[in-house]
Amino acid sequence: MHKILKITTTGLKHSSACLAASLLLACSHALAEPDAYRIDDAHSFANWTIRHVASKTSGTFSDITGKISIDSENLANSSVEAKINMLSVNSSHAKRDKHIKEKDYLDTEKFADATFVSKRIEAKSNTEGVMTGVLTLHGIAKEMTFSFKVLGYGSDPWGGYRTGFEAKTSLKASDFGFAWPLKKDAPVGDDVEITLLIEGVKLPTPNPIE
């Protein structure tokens, strides 16, 4: 009788230890922080396309800074904060770029930056989803939605670790107070297609509090 009782007690201790370990492991996953990445402005672009007369003109903003937090196992826990330097506009034509920066169009002397701060992310998988946030452009803040895809993760040649993603949306320039599309027979359209190609460099993980 004592022998049977001893075996049962040992089994209970083993089961309790396993349960405690499982709970600890589950808690550690639940409390895990998303990985933080700095946007690499040398490898990130905000590309745009807009109607010009009977065709389309495209270009990019090449100066993008900010921070991305990515939970690769649950993208819904991720977030983005980004700033675009509007002075970095490049349409591959210097005279046109100068005009784009003037008051008739972007008015970069008064509105030099555009910002985006995500509010929520709907994950469709571990690599795709829909991101909603506030875009502030030309002094006007509006909620925008981007479809996005994580392009991958990998080590870079300089000892760092990177991620990249692509996001797409479209907007109406007139919604942000731009007057050019409202002119009669305007040569430049109202609808702007945007594709973000963003590359981030992983930031060091803070030391845990002892």
Question: According to CATH, what is the number of the domain 34-202?
Answer: 2.40.128.110
Structure confidence by residue, pLDDT tens digits, 148-161: 999 999 999 999 99
Structure confidence by residue, pLDDT tens digits, 116-131: 999 999 999 999 999 9
Q: How far is Cα of residue 118 from the mean position of the Cα atoms in its chain?
A: 8
pLDDT value, residue 54 = 95
